[in-house]
Chains A and B, each alone.
Chain A
Amino acid sequence: MKRKHKRLTFVIIALLLLGGAAALVLSAFEENIVFFMSPTDVAADKVPHDRRFRLGGLVEEGSVDRSAGKTVTFRITDLSNSVNVSYTGILPDLFREGQGVVSEGKMVGNLFVADEVLAKHDENYMPPEVADALKKSGQWKGNAK
């Protein structure tokens, strides 16, 4: 085997081993890399009770209640389970019913008390006229309203 072939084999084997090692590390840290938990995780009791965590999902249709002054309550759903959330503060521009959000806070009984709400943007980009046309023709598949 020529020296350059030896070096080539060495680089390829090293990369494969590194890739494998990275995959193992990342799968071991899976729980820490995941940015937020879902309402199903809450229902399955997979979330911490005494620690803060992030809860992500869609703002359920018709669940937003702003009657309590600065405190807003709404439900976050992943379409199979949902969790009641209360939040005091300023909501981001994209916050609305049907929008994906990630909120950070703690479970207090069955209520998730959030102190931060971030809006999640999806991968759809289109002009407003197209969005209106899609809604009119009933082909609207996106999460957002």
Chain B
Amino acid sequence: MKMLHQFANPTRFLRLSTRVEPWALVVTVVCFALGLYYALFSSPVDYQQGHTVRIMYIHVPAAWMALFCYTAMAVSAAVALIWKHALADVAAKSTAPIGAVFTLLALVTGSLWGKPMWGTWWVWDARLTSMLVLFFLYLGYMALRDAFDDPARGARASSILVIVGFVNVPIIKFSVDWWNTLHQPSSVFRMGGPKIHPDMLVPLLLMAAAFQFYYFWLLLVRMRRELMAQRLRALRHRQAEH
């Protein structure tokens, strides 16, 4: 807990993040280069889907990140609300647009895959609908946050919204098991091991790592910007008072 408090110090975070940032970017680029090469050129076609299976290497990591970002946001918002850590609130705010884009990417790539495979762009089944709700939760969070004149009140109200919306995360994950849906059940995180051939699992996991590091790098950049902006606001405020 004490160590966590040390990291929660904004000045220390700024110093540390400037050092970690370039490395996070390097790992991101390497993972993307390897992952995209495997996914697009060196992985086999699927016995049913043919080349269309390659959409999965973008779709699945994007969907995982959509859930991961929301969970990270909900945890940060809870920490900000309960322990009043300013840095946690900055983390939640910085994660929101990234998560929203991942969700949109998952929805769009899923739709592109659905047309040739299922025969439809969109159906209102439990998985697709709950994922759309997640997208609206991200948008709602960002809109609510900016809807107040007092940033502190906006942060509080939107933190509560994120925590309430977290109920949707297990619903998305288990929707394919609880109800019969058009969307197939999970191939990787399932009881009894993955149902996906290792030649396809490796590029998928590489792409997942790339997405994860990309998020990490973007989060550091955005958090640093946000902290700087906050300091600038505080300085201007003090100047105006004098």
Contact = CB atoms under 8 A, between A and B. Distances in A.
Interface string A98-130: 000010000000000000111111111111111
Most B C-beta atoms less than 10 A away, residue of A7, A19, A123, A132:
A123
Contact of B46 (A22, A33, A102, A125): A125
B182 A120 contact: yes
B161 to A, nearest CB: 12
Contacts, number: 112
Given A92-B117, A120-B184, A126 B200 contact: yes
Interface residues of B, number: 41
Contacts of B82: 4, 7-8, 11
Nearest to A9: B82
A118 B182 contact: yes
A13 interface: no
Contacts of A28: none
Contact of A123 (B81, B126, B187): B187
Contacts of B45: 127-128
Interface residues of A, number: 40
A58 B13 CA distance: 56
B40 to A, nearest CB: 15
B101 to A, nearest CB: 26
A36 B183 CA distance: 12
Contacts of A117: 119
Contact of A121 (B48, B166, B167): B48
B81 A11 contact: yes
Contacts of A116: 119-120
Interface of A: 4, 7-8, 11, 14-15, 18-19, 22, 26, 30, 33-36, 38, 56, 91-94, 102, 116-132, 144
6 smallest beta-carbon distances between A and B, as pairs = A92-B119, A127-B44, A131-B47, A125-B196, A126-B197, A128-B47
